Amino acid sequence: MSTELGGSQRVGPRTELGGAQRIAATAWLLGDRIDTRAVPVERVVSRSPLTLQDGADRLVVLYRFGALVVFAPESGAGTAYPEDLGRFVVSPLPSPEFDTASIRISADEPEGADREGVLVIAEASLERFHVVADVLARSALLAHYESEVSTALDRVEPLAERLRLGAHRGLRGRQLLQELGEVLVSEMRMVGRAEVSEKPERLWDRPRLDALYVRLAEEYELADRDRAVTRKLELLGRATETFLGVLDTRRSLNVEWYIVILILIELFLLVYELATR
């Protein structure tokens, strides 16, 4: 792989297929975070986002929110993530999330996704690979949250059904507190780790790259998926708070009954004492 940091920052494996280059890309969500500051600088070709040259024909883009994206020739060594980067992953996922794409380099076609879903970029420049990586990394992150939220909904649905049927005594406070905690953690991670629905700041003054990002983000439905996940998280939060409200009400009623019983016992003892004098 040839890499030039000056000028147009042209990089990339060059596989001529009918005059166009074909490149494979895979985004991997490996964990809660990647400690990008600890990555050795020897292979670094760009710092925003952190980009490494991996061997002769692969490019790796890393994100602090736990994702990395690998670019390689479609006929090359493949896009598995480099195992030596695993030591920089904080809180690794049991099963990494991933998203793939096929890229064609062609200056004669509109940039974006064609009818077959192949991503078209005008040139093999580092800045364009970064745009593709931004979208793929966010897509992998969203896929992870979509899975997490679906699992949480599956857990909460039986509890909601019990509440609808009036079977309140089947609800356990500790379980509901755990559900609410997981919902809040998911919301905070989404806000703090990556602004999925927002464009990277470095594109604000780059109209052509900005337009490419918008097209690719629409192809992967980033904004729509982000809104859907956020709505489901809000629904989970409201449902769990409702369950906790039911439990608090039940506890309050129990306390009131205890007080009534204690008063009755005290009255009984007083009457008994008066009767035995």
User: Which pLDDT value is given to residue 60?
Assistant: 95
Residue 113 burial by Cβ neighbours in a 10 Å radius (0-12, 13-18, 19+): middle
CB atoms within 10 A of CB 84: 10
d(CA 248, CA 10): 62
Tokens of 102: 């096929």
Between β-strands 119-121 and 89-105, what pairing exists: parallel, antiparallel or unpaired?
parallel
Predicted pLDDT of residue 43:
87
d(CA 136, CA 151): 23
User: What pLDDT, on a 0 to 100 scale, did the predictor assign at position 277?
Assistant: 60
70 close to 129: Cβ distance less than 8 angstroms: no
In tens, the pLDDT along 136-156 reads 999 999 999 898 888 877 777
What is the structure's pLDDT at 201?
84
User: What's the pLDDT score for residue 112?
Assistant: 94
- CB–CB of 85/68 below 8 Å? yes
First to last CA, the chain: 104
Map tokens 């979509």 to a residue.
146
DSSP-assigned letter for residue 195? -
pLDDT tens, residue by residue, 96-118:
999 999 999 998 999 999 999 99
User: Which positions of the chain have pLDDT values less than 50?
Assistant: 1-8, 12-20
**pLDDT value, residue 19:** 34
Question: And the tokens for 154?
Answer: 């599956």
Report the C-alpha gap between 254 and 188 in whole angstroms: 35
